[in-house]
């Protein structure tokens, strides 16, 4: 999988090739000017230390030669640009040249970095957008299996980690190797013997760094998983803070959170130990190289075996300049491995296939006209698990109000989830107006439906925007009328800012009955053909239930409705009542016929009204 990850990471960067091209050109010019600046600095030191007459003499000799070595050519052309009639004039020209080169070099350094940073930010935005778009298309079942904290951590933390890895990949793998190549070329030009000694020793450090990088990737993978656990605990605690406080369980939650953060700390420390050892290893090898070369080169200078003092000084200065890029390169593999661990999680999420998929050229349902029918439907949440629904068949004609009743866990809510294709049947089919819902486009299927559940989901937005969710084009008059029909207008007008009142996260500023009426107003504004009410009043007190029930009756008027209810008092007026037990249709009929039958419905009724 590693190769495919690196290819995909590369494709992410190449999608922003104009910025990368400009950054690469700037980087190349920076590196070339950096090499020139080091060479000129070495020239400055030599010109100060050496006798000016000897420099002029050497320049004359090189001018008279037919053939110059690369080292002599570089020095000749440098002197040609720098040397003037007097040492002072030459020094002044050299200093001004160095100043100019450093100034231009740093302009290209800035351009390289800012362009690269723009690439990083764009990649982060692209990945987060892709992840968010992708999770919007995933089936409901995915979110029941995966933890919210894990998904959030992938979108925030893993993408952040990948950004750093991509930055290092370009900066270090493109810029520093060119830097090293230019410096290494200069070293070979000055003395191939000394350069060869350095080249032989450097790979030993690389072997150690690669071994460290593999371990870093494993630990990074575990670290990112651990931070997702922390985010999950945080998310659960904040969303359930009322229960935590009601059960005086703050200490236990703190203990659980502290345990996870301690584990995260230990993992981070283990990774840091490996991360931080790379630079000392590289530096140690660098010192070894420097000492060996100082001893060997110094001996050649002292014994006059071909290396002159000027070249030795220049060689040492460039050698220590090359150690900086090599040291930077030492962390490349470590950073890339850490980013690869995050990339694995990102691409795993992006590669997750939705379970609910539209066929090619699906049917556009239009308005619901005739009937909704279940035909021998079987359903299990996971292959091989226990059947939740077993041979369920029934029919709802247009305009009918049909109630589903039965014990908890009998499969009523599952039936409600199958109609809008939140899940697909294991076998059997569901048909609307004679069309299998798997052949209907999801948008046209769900646009025909209004769903009101026991757990009302409101957004941290205004009351108006919650009622007109996904229907922002609706006028204020229509929103107001929907609120009136939902028996919600009175309490809305009594809030501080009316329809512009912010309801808080998950509607925390509203009571249960108020939230439920907002949800009913939202469904009314959508004006659905098929209405699904799943335990819409079971969590309310008597007064709130009465208000909500009045709103529901308004909502069900002239509509086809499937009502799931524990409170049998709310479904007695239904055209048809279907009793579900153990995932099967046990009884069907009106309230009166089922009551007289003296079966499961009668038993449930007696239990409630005793």
Smallest Cα–Cα separation from 436: which of 425, 447, 448? 425
CA-closest candidate to residue 210, choices 305, 314, 337: 337
169 touches 329 (CB < 8 A): no
Residue 5: HSE in the Cβ half-sphere, 13 Å Cα cutoff? 18
Residue 225 vs residues 193, 228, 304, 345: alpha-carbon distances, Å: 50, 5, 62, 9
| Whole-number Å distance between alpha carbons of 259 and 433 | 56
Three-class SS state of 363: strand
Q: How far apart are CA 341 and CA 477, in angstroms?
A: 53
Burial (CB < 10 A; 0-12, 13-18, 19+), residue 256, is middle
pLDDT value of position 437: 93
Cβ-contact 413, 434 below 8 angstroms: no
Secondary structure (DSSP) of 104-149: HHHHHHHHHHHHHHHHHHHHHHHHHHHHHHHHHHS-HHHHHHS-HH
CA 377 to CA 415: how far, in whole Å?
Answer: 9
Give pLDDT, residue 373. 93
Q: Which pLDDT score, from 0 to 100, does residue 1 have? A: 47
Helix (H) or strand (E) holding 584: strand 584-589
- Average pLDDT per 10 consecutive residues for the chain, totaling 610 residues: 68 81 86 83 69 76 83 81 81 86 90 86 87 85 78 83 74 75 82 75 58 57 65 70 68 80 76 67 67 73 68 76 69 70 84 86 88 92 83 90 87 89 91 92 88 82 87 84 84 88 85 84 85 72 67 75 80 86 90 86 79
Give me the residue label for tokens 């690269």.
116
């Amino acid at each position: 999988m590693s190769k495919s990850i690196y290819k995909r990471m590369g494709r992410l960067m190449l999608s922003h090739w104009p910025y990368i091209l400009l950054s690469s050109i700037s980087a190349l010019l920076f590196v070339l000017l950096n090499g020139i600046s080091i060479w000129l600095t070495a020239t400055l030191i030599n010109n100060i230390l050496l006798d000016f007459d000897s420099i002029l003499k050497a320049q004359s000799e090189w001018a008279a030669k037919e053939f110059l070595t690369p080292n002599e050519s570089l020095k000749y052309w440098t002197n040609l640009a720098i040397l003037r009639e007097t040492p002072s004039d030459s020094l002044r020209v050299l200093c001004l040249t160095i100043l100019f080169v450093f100034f231009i070099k740093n302009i290209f350094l800035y351009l390289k970095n800012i362009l690269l940073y723009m690439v990083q930010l764009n990649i982060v935005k692209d990945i987060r957008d892709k992840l968010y778009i992708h999770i919007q298309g995933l089936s409901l079942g995915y979110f029941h299996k995966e933890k919210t904290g894990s998904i959030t951590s992938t979108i925030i933390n893993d993408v952040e980690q990948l950004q750093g890895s991509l930055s290092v990949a370009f900066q270090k793998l493109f810029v520093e190797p060119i830097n090293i190549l230019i410096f290494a070329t200069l070293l070979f030009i000055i003395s191939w013997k000394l350069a060869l000694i350095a080249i032989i020793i450097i790979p030993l450090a690389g072997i150690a760094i690669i071994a460290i990088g593999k371990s870093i990737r494993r630990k990074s993978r575990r670290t990112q998983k651990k931070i997702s656990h922390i985010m999950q605990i945080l998310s659960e605690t904040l969303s359930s803070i009322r229960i935590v406080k009601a059960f005086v369980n703050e200490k236990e939650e703190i203990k659980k959170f502290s345990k996870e953060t301690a584990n995260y700390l230990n993992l981070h420390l283990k990774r840091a130990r490996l991360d931080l050892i790379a630079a000392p290893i590289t530096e140690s090898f660098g010192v070894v190289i420097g000492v060996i070369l100082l001893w060997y080169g110094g001996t050649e200078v002292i014994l006059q075996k071909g290396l002159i003092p000027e070249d030795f000084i220049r060689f040492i200065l460039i050698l220590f300049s090359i150690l900086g890029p090599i040291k930077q390169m030492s962390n490349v593999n470590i950073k890339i491995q850490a980013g690869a661990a995050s990339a694995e999680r990102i691409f795993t999420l992006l590669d997750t296939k939705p379970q609910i998929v539209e066929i090619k050229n699906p049917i556009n349902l239009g308005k619901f006209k005739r009937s909704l029918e279940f035909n021998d439907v079987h359903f299990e949440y996971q292959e091989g698990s226990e059947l939740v629904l077993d041979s369920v068949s029934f029919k709802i004609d247009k305009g009918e109000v049909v109630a589903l009743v039965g014990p908890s866990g009998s499969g009523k809510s599952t039936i409600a989830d199958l109609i809008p294709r939140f899940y697909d049947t294991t076998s059997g089919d569901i048909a609307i107006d004679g069309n299998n819902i798997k052949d209907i486009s999801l948008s046209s299927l769900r646009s025909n439906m209004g769903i009101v559940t026991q757990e009302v989901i409101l957004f941290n937005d205004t009351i108006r925007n919650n009622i007109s969710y996904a229907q922002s084009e609706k006028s204020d008059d229509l929103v107001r009328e929907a609120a009136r029909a939902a028996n919600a207008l009175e309490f809305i007008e009594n809030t501080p800012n009316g329809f512009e009142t912010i309801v808080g996260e998950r509607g925390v500023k509203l009571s249960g009955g108020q939230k439920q009426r907002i949800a009913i107003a939202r469904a009314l504004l959508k004006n659905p053909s098929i209405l699904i009410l799943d335990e819409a009043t079971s969590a309310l007190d008597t007064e709130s239930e009465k208000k909500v029930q009045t709103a529901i009756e308004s909502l069900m008027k002239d509509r086809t409705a499937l009502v799931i209810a524990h409170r049998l008092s709310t479904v007695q007026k239904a055209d048809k009542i279907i009793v579900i037990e153990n995932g099967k249709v046990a009884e069907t009929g009106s309230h009166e016929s089922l009551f007289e039958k003296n079966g499961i419905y009668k038993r449930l009724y007696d239990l409630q009204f005793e």
